[in-house]
Amino acid sequence: MKRIVRNPDILWREEDDAAAEAAALLEQGGEAGEIGTAILFADGTMVTLNLLGTEIWKRCDGLTEEELVTALLEEFDVEADVLRHDVANFLQELAEKRYISYV
């Protein structure tokens, strides 16, 4: 199975304050999907990722898609099939934007 790697030309960082806010909301049983916890920046275009997107993005460093899902399942309390579906969709979006590639 092919491994996922980030495009090295994509500049990115986690937003610590926002990540803490999202984590606190989740802790309280709230919804944090709209909080941007990471920024991706390339050619003047900035994209923000929510908490799940950020966690997926951070793991795009040589894992296969299945390994990535397994790693996330260890951290998130979510149904495997739902997560697998979300991860696949998100990776497809990243690949279309050339933010990641498969090697």
Partner 1 sequence: MTLPELTTPIRLYWDLTPLPSAPPDHGKICAEIIDLKILSLDLTATGSTVPEACFSILEQCRTARLAVTLTLSPEALSEEVGQRLAAAPPKELLIQVTGPDRFPPHRSLPPGVDGISFPVTGDTWRRIPDLFRFAADSGCRRLVLPMQRLYAGEEAFYLSRRELEALTAELAPIPRDPDMRVTVHDPFLWRGIFPHTPFPEGRCQAANTMLAIDPKGVVYPCPTMPVPLGDLASGTLRDIARGEAKKELRKKLLRLPAACVGCVDAGSCTGGCRGRGEQLGGSWEGIDPACR
**Which residues sit at the interface with partner 1, rule CB under 8 A?**
11-13, 15, 17-18, 34, 36, 39, 41, 43-50
What DSSP state is assigned to residue 78? S
Nearest to 36, CA basis, from 12, 58, 53: 53
Q: How far is the CB of 41 from partner 1 (least distance, A)?
A: 5
Closer of 24 and 46 to partner 1 (Cβ): 46
CB-nearer residue toward partner 1: 47 or 69: 47
How many angstroms separate the CA atoms of 72 and 70, rounded?
A: 5
User: Minimum distance from CB of 66 to partner 1 (Å)?
Assistant: 27
Q: How many Cβ atoms sit within 10 Å of the Cβ of residue 28?
A: 8
The residue (of 64 and 89) whose beta carbon lies closer to partner 1 is 89
CB 70, min distance to partner 1, A: 26
**Token representation of residue 18:** 């926002």
Name the residue nearer to partner 1 (CB basis): 49 or 91: 49
Report CA torsion sign: 25, 27, 32, 37: positive
